[in-house]
Amino acid sequence: MTLRPESASDLLIDGKLTPGSGGVFDVVNPATEEVIGQAAEATAADMDAAIAAARTAFDTTDWSRDHAFRARCLRQLRDALLAHTDEFRELTIAEVGCPSFLTHGPQFEGPVTDLGYFADLAESYEWTRDLGTAKPMGIKNHRELRSEAIGVVGAITPWNFPHQINFAKIGPALAAGCTVVLKPAPDTPWCAALVGKVVAEETDFPPGVLNIVTSTDHRLGEQLSTDPRVDLVSFTGSTATGKKVMAAASESLKKVFLELGGKSAFIVLDDADIGSACAMAAFNVVTHAGQGCAITTRLLVPRTKLDEAITATRDALAGLPAGDPTSSGTICGPLISERQRRRVESYIEIAKQEGGTIEIGGGRPADKSRGFFVEPTLISGLDNSARVAQEEIFGPVLVIIAHDGDDDAIRIANDSPYGLSGMVYGTDENRINKVVNGVRTGTMGVNGGIWYSADVPFGGYKQSGIGREMGVAGFEEYLETKAVARPA
């Protein structure tokens, strides 16, 4: 089978590839602004059928109990997807606008390969745990704990790292024995729909175990959140939408798992090499044009070295390759849409109005008449109370802020509604550890350390989310615990 854009214009419902009842909608290449094809436009009736199929598959098949079969299906899917790597790479770059180099990692090959990690967990997980005996009310009992799949999972995902986020949900959910309805973002339907085609045509997944519903209608996400046949909603997206999902899910008291926004701090201590720290901070913020929730977007540097840091960061940003995402050297591609570009540009305006200085960038690249590009941008002259330091921009925009020592840096890092990630650069281990312990976030890198991996749980403190994705902790989000006792 060859994957082509036209093969991405179907939904996957109950094991069958079906057209959307609402017709199709356009898919736009963010680097060229061209319509490159169509995706299926699902309606509420399609979503209803998908939820019904997932419910039936969970309630009437052995899927949730047959750990070895699930592991086999997941490995089969991984191998089938990897056999299509070149096609996925091309279509993902065209749809997402992500630089080519990222498709070797989190924008395709990484998360697909990680399906093997979740397959292994399905087989190796301790599904039953012996608690031994106890004498509640004087009667000797033998107790055990059984872990069971939570049921039907509604997975709602954004556009920025579609494969990574889709597989970080469907991988552990399916491995745990759940059935899934995936609703991807309207900006990136192909990444999900093409997976649906591979599932339907090249794997043994039973009908209804994985359903994929593409649509421009956000209300289909609400439908997943409210429908009582869905047991858990696994959501990644903005904090504002996450709050709506949580409120909607409360009606049927279903579990919610939320991966939300971030405004992470890159802390440079005064014993760090300023040049290499600022080069790494610049690289981080332009990777995929800053469209990553865990990207460090506030650069906190010692006040005594502020000028040196501004120069080093400006020089680094000027030297990072930006432009055509199909080129293997490009680090910073376009934003996903005109809507996102307007949002990023509006924040650059807000920074100017609040008295900030644009050290580099701030506009659209002169050599690009097409594509949703914004120049890598460095803003100085503001403190942490500025809106660009408090609110998520989701573009290649870095705000540099002075700190007055390690405690002050920790204070500034924590002065945020978010708590997703962070980085610290320094040489003294005690000082580094104090910062790592002091910053209230779900992940921290030290001197460029990369925590991203299938076995590392990822998630946020505060308004960055609830729960953890990936790792054993991420797998266990999709499990219930049943306690069983019998007289001994």
Q: Does 41 bind ligand NAD (CB under 6 A)?
A: no
Select the residue interacting with ligand NAD from 20, 99, 208, 237 (CB under 6 A): 237
β-pairing, 35-40 with 461-462?
A: unpaired
What is the smallest separation between the CB atom of 7 and ligand NAD, expressed in angstroms?
22
Tokens of 458: 């990822």
The residue whose two tokens read 């593409």 is 214
The dihedral sign for the CA sequence 34, 37, 38, 39: negative
| Of residues 98 and 245, the one with the C-beta less far from ligand NAD | 245
Q: Number of residues interacting with ligand NAD: please give it, by CB under 6 A.
A: 26
Contact, 96 vs 159, CB < 8 A?
A: yes
Q: Give, in order, the Cα–Cα distances in Å from 231 to each of 51, 154, 224, 406, 479.
A: 11, 8, 10, 44, 11
In the complex with ligand NAD, the residue whose CB is nearer, 78 or 169, is 169
Complex with ligand NAD: residue 67 or 183, whichever CB lies closer: 183
Of the candidates 159, 167, 190, 372, which one interacts with ligand NAD according to CB under 6 A?
A: 159
Which residue number, 237 or 474, has a Cβ lying nearer to ligand NAD?
A: 237
Cβ atoms within 10 A of the Cβ of 177, count? 24
Q: Is the separation of the CB atoms in 282 and 331 below 8 Å?
A: no
Smallest separation (angstroms) from ligand NAD to the CB of 475 = 17
Q: Which strands form 232-236's sheet, in the order they lie side by side?
A: 16-18, 11-13, 210-212, 179-183, 152-156, 232-236, 255-259, 465-466
When the beta carbons of 102 and 274 are compared against ligand NAD, the nearer one is 102
Phi, psi of 101 (to 5 degrees): -60, -30
Residues ≥6 apart with Cβ < 8 Å to 150: 176, 178, 231, 232, 255, 478, 479, 480
Distances (CA, A) of 345 to 349, 371, 383, 385, 396: 6, 14, 20, 19, 11
Instruction: Select from 261, 323, 442, 471 the one that contacts ligand NAD (CB under 6 A).
Output: 261
354 tagged catalytic: no
**For residue 467, how many C-alpha atoms fall within 13 Å in the half-sphere facing its CB?**
24
Instruction: Return the residue of 95, 227, 324, 392 that touches ligand NAD, per CB under 6 A.
Output: 392
Minimum distance from residue 256 beta carbon to ligand NAD (Å): 11
Provide the minimum distance between the beta carbon of 309 and ligand NAD in the complex, in angstroms, as a whole number.
Answer: 26
Q: 3-class DSSP state for residue 263?
A: coil
Q: What are phi and psi of 133, to 5 degrees?
A: -105, 160
Stretch that binds ligand NAD, among 80-88, 135-143, 215-223, 268-276 (CB under 6 A): 215-223
From the list 158, 196, 290, 334, which residue makes contact with ligand NAD (rule: CB under 6 A)? 158
Interacting residue with ligand NAD among 75, 142, 143, 244 (CB under 6 A): 244
Q: Name which of 25 and 63 has its Cβ closer to ligand NAD.
A: 25
- The number of helix segments (H) and strand segments (E) in the chain equals 16, 22
User: Does 190 participate in binding ligand NAD (rule CB under 6 A)?
Assistant: no
> What is the per-residue binding string for ligand NAD in 326-365, x denoting contact by CB under 6 A?
----------------------------------------
Q: Which is nearer to ligand NAD, 277 or 470 (CB)?
A: 470
Strand partners, 156: 183, 235
CA atoms within 13 A on the CB side of 14: 12
The only residue of 190, 394, 475, 478 in contact with ligand NAD, by rule CB under 6 A: 394
Q: Is 225 in the site for ligand NAD (CB under 6 A)?
A: yes
Residue 236 engages ligand NAD in binding (rule: CB under 6 A): yes
**Partners of 147 in beta bridges:** 481
Q: Specify the stretch interacting with ligand NAD by CB under 6 A; choose among 4-12, 256-264, 319-327, 368-376.
A: 256-264
Number of other CB atoms surrounding residue 435 within 10 Å: 23
How open is the CA angle 156-161-165, to the nearest 5 degrees?
40
Task: State the Cα–Cα distance between residues 349 and 469, nearest whole angstrom.
Answer: 35
Residue 241 near ligand NAD by CB under 6 A: yes
464, 261 Cβ separation under 8 angstroms = yes
The verdict on 210 binding ligand NAD (CB under 6 A) reads no
Judged by CB under 6 A, the residue of 200, 260, 282, 351 near ligand NAD is 260
185 lies in the site for ligand NAD, by CB under 6 A: yes
With respect to ligand NAD, which residue has the nearer C-beta, 285 or 409?
285
Question: Given 259, 345, 469, 477, which residue is catalytic?
Answer: 259
The residues that are catalytic are 259
Q: Which residues bind ligand NAD (CB under 6 A)?
A: 156-160, 165, 183, 185-186, 218, 221-222, 225, 236-238, 241, 244-245, 259-261, 293, 392, 394, 465
